[in-house]
């Protein structure tokens, strides 16, 4: 990982205003969303539905790892003071964690009957998650001073590689070229971290972990129990229906996810905004109400646009053997994305106010309602299963808001 942030031209991390924060966070996230979309779509074209379903299972598990890394580790670099010790410790923890999971994943892949076709996709997602860990360092460090580019520059390079990968797949390029482009796309963001790899130390990892408090402990417990159960529940579709049905579900979720991923681009901005409101004694309830109002409007507009694009143009860019399935599942999938967008302000407040117990309780309520909805709607097949997942997502967001609101006094900024 890079060294601690050293402001250039007399600026500090707090300068630049909201426009600068959006540029630094939203635009790279938009590019990352586009990259993820093209990778998923490319592999859906390249693999048979059954094989794509198996790859989607690996991808789903690693996206849980990515979400854990962001919430418990990465976003704490934003919520806390960004120091040289924290950066080195961050890298020292994430490196063996991701490497160990990569070894386990490759062993599991090797146990499959024919893993050759899946290997490029599995390596791509492992490197994609490792690169995402680097992003949180790049957001707040001046990689230019270390001979690198800005985060936006690196995400642009990765987006270009993703476009090349997708074109290669559609053009039926040699499998070796397709594999190289997929792996390069997944791991290109690791390049700026390589010069700093020699500074990673076990002592740095211990020092970083020693700064973790009860909030991180609650969030870790939540991720390895409730969040894991909620996140991995779609895997049940492979057992209840088939691997190809699960692949269709994941492809539908993937083509709608760019809208949700764009929304998460504003998570660092929301964390900063709520943190500033707490420090300055502003009323969090009124601020939250305004931001949630904007999130609702954005969710409705973006979701409607996404449905129109997929239904209206999907036959030109979706795999021919998946087009009808995606159109069949698109409505519940995009409604779920809308609820994820609406939930972003709550997620930011949980991190700023360290409401780990409330977050975990919201996840528990959502999981219980999801399981109940699955039991009721399962006779309606994969469509009913998808609607059950959407109902669970909505329940989680509503419960989370209900649990955190009592901690926001109407006339003061702290609980």
Pick the residue with more confidence: 194 or 131?
131
Q: What percent of the chain has pLDDT over 70?
A: 80
Dihedral angle over CA of 63, 387, 349, 88, nearest 10: 0
Res. 292 pLDDT band, cuts 50 70 90: very high
Q: Which two tokens stand for residue 79?
A: 């919520």
DSSP 195: G
Q: Which two tokens stand for residue 250?
A: 């994941």
In 3D space, the residue among 107, 111, 123, 103 whose CA is nearest the CA of residue 55 turns out to be 123
CB 7 within 8 A of CB 198: no
Alpha-carbon gap, residue 263 to 324, rounded angstroms: 27
The answer for residues whose C-beta is within 8 angstroms of residue 264's C-beta and 6 or more apart is 29, 344
Q: What percent of the chain has pLDDT over 90?
A: 33
Q: How many helices (H) and strands (E) does the chain have?
A: 18, 0
Domain boundaries of the chain, sorted by first residue: 1-210, 213-415
pLDDT value at position 33?
81
Q: Which two tokens stand for residue 262?
A: 């764009």
Per-residue pLDDT tens for 125-150?
999 999 887 776 665 443 333 334 57
Alpha-carbon gap, residue 303 to 281, rounded angstroms: 35
pLDDT value at position 23?
56
Q: Is 60 exceeded by the pLDDT of residue 298?
A: yes
Q: Which two tokens stand for residue 225?
A: 């129990």
Q: Is 50 exceeded by the pLDDT of residue 9?
A: no
Q: CA angle, 51 as apex, 46 and 57 as ends, to 5°?
A: 115
How many Å separate Cα 111 from the centre of its chain? 28
- At 118 the three-state DSSP class reads coil
CA distances from residue 238 to 126, 246, 248, 279, 323 in whole angstroms, order as listed: 22, 5, 10, 48, 19
Q: Is 80 exceeded by the pLDDT of residue 107?
A: yes
Q: Is 80 exceeded by the pLDDT of residue 326?
A: yes
Q: In this structure, is the dihedral angle defined by the CA atoms of residues 224, 226, 227 and 231, taken in order, positive or negative?
A: positive
Per the prediction, the chain carries an average pLDDT of 81
Res. 78 pLDDT band, cuts 50 70 90: low
Alpha-carbon gap, residue 255 to 26, rounded angstroms: 19
Longest CA pairwise span in the chain (Å): 64
Q: In this structure, is the dihedral angle defined by the CA atoms of residues 107, 108, 112 and 115, taken in order, positive or negative?
A: negative
Q: CA angle, 108 as apex, 104 and 111 as ends, to 5°?
A: 145
pLDDT value at position 4?
34
pLDDT value at position 388?
96
Q: Work out the burial of residue 184: count CB atoms within 10 Å of its CB; fewer than 13 is exposed, 13-18 middle, 19 or more buried.
A: middle
Alpha-carbon gap, residue 279 to 300, rounded angstroms: 32
Per-residue pLDDT tens for 340-362?
989 989 988 888 888 888 888 99
CB 395 within 8 A of CB 340: no
Average pLDDT over residues 356-376: 92
Average pLDDT over residues 87-112: 85
pLDDT value at position 365?
94
The answer for residues whose C-beta is within 8 angstroms of residue 333's C-beta and 6 or more apart is 252, 253, 256, 386, 390
Alpha-carbon gap, residue 70 to 85, rounded angstroms: 18
Q: In this structure, is the dihedral angle defined by the CA atoms of residues 389, 392, 394 and 397, taken in order, positive or negative?
A: negative
Q: Which two tokens stand for residue 123?
A: 């390596």
pLDDT value at position 82?
47
The residue with tokens 């860019």 is 317
Res. 162 pLDDT band, cuts 50 70 90: very high
pLDDT value at position 177?
95
Q: Is 60 exceeded by the pLDDT of residue 16?
A: no
Long-range contacts, stretch 210-219, CB < 8 angstroms, 24+ apart: 211/80, 211/86, 211/89, 213/354, 214/354, 214/356, 215/354, 215/356, 216/72, 216/76, 216/356, 217/356, 218/356, 218/357, 218/359, 218/360, 219/71, 219/72, 219/356, 219/359
- At 265 the three-state DSSP class reads coil
Pick the residue with more confidence: 386 or 87?
386
């Amino acid at each position: 990982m890079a060294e601690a942030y050293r402001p250039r031209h007399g600026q500090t991390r707090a300068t630049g205003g909201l426009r600068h924060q959006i540029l630094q966070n939203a635009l790279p996230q938009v590019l990352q969303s586009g990259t993820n979309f093209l990778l998923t779509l490319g592999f859906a074209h390249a693999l048979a539905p059954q094989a794509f379903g198996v790859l989607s299972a690996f991808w789903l598990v690693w996206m849980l790892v990515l979400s854990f890394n962001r919430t418990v580790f990465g976003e704490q670099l934003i919520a806390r003071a960004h120091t040289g010790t924290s950066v080195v410790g961050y890298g020292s923890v994430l490196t063996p964690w991701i490497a160990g999971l990569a070894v386990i994943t490759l062993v599991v892949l090797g146990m499959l009957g024919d893993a050759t076709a899946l290997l490029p996709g599995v390596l791509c997602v492992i490197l994609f998650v490792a690169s995402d860990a680097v992003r949180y360092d790049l957001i707040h460090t001046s990689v230019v001073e270390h001979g690198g580019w800005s985060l936006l520059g690196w995400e642009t390079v990765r987006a270009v590689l993703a476009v090349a990968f997708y074109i290669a797949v559609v053009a039926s390029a040699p499998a070796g070229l397709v594999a190289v482009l997929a792996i390069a796309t997944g791991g290109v963001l690791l390049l700026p971290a390589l010069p700093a790899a020699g500074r990673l130390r076990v002592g740095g990892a211990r020092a970083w972990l020693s700064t973790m408090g009860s909030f991180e402990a609650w969030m870790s417990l939540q991720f390895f129990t409730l969040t894991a159960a909620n996140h991995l529940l779609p895997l049940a579709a492979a057992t209840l229906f088939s691997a190809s049905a699960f692949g269709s579900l994941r492809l539908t979720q993937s083509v709608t996810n760019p809208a949700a991923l764009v929304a998460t681009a504003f998570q660092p901005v929301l964390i900063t905004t709520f943190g500033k409101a707490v420090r300055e004694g502003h009323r969090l309830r009124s601020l939250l109400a305004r931001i949630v109002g904007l999130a609702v409007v954005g969710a409705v507009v973006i979701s409607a646009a996404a449905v129109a694009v997929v239904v209206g143009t999907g036959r030109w860019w979706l795999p021919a053997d998946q087009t009808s399935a995606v159109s069949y599942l698109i409505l519940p999938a995009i409604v779920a994305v809308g609820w994820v967008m609406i939930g972003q302000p709550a997620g930011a407040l949980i991190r700023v106010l360290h409401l780990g117990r409330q977050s975990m309780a919201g996840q528990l309520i959502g999981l219980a309602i999801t399981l109940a909805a699955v039991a009721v709607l399962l006779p309606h097949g994969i469509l009913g299963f998808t609607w059950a997942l959407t109902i669970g997502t909505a329940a989680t967001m509503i419960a989370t808001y209900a649990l955190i609101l009592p901690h926001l006094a109407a006339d003061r900024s702290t609980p």
